[in-house]
Amino acid sequence: MDTGNLGILAGIIITTGFFAMIFAIVYLHKRERMAMIERGMDPRAYKPQSAPYQNLKWGLLLIGAGVGLFLAFVLDHTMFRSISDDDVAALYFSLIAIFGGGGLFLSYRIEKKEVLDKEDAREEK
């Protein structure tokens, strides 16, 4: 197959996949609403559960990943200059994972502290 035919084939597959995905999302949403009606639930009253600390979690994850990426860059250009690029790639991935996980752990600790503080305030009343 030449490049022109591959481009046409890729365009057809991508377009078909996009419309199939949209159809599946709409179909499953309507099916979910029908199942709720069959069980006697009101679909308009259904509200997804809120996640109050979601922004904190994402923020700390991205800050941790950014710090890990920056630290890997600094280490790469100062200490590991003589090592080949393939060996240093593991440094980037590992430090991003370590600091991203540290951000998630910090988010967990903050959420836990807030929940415990709220429980203590309720018990005092």
Cβ pair 68, 99 in contact under 8 A: yes
- pLDDT (0 to 100) of residue 94: 93
- pLDDT (0 to 100) of residue 125: 66
pTM: 0.58
- pLDDT (0 to 100) of residue 63: 96
CA distance 12 to 15: 5
- pLDDT (0 to 100) of residue 116: 86
* Positions of the chain with pLDDT lower than 70, given as ranges: 1, 84-86, 125
CA distance 2 to 4: 6
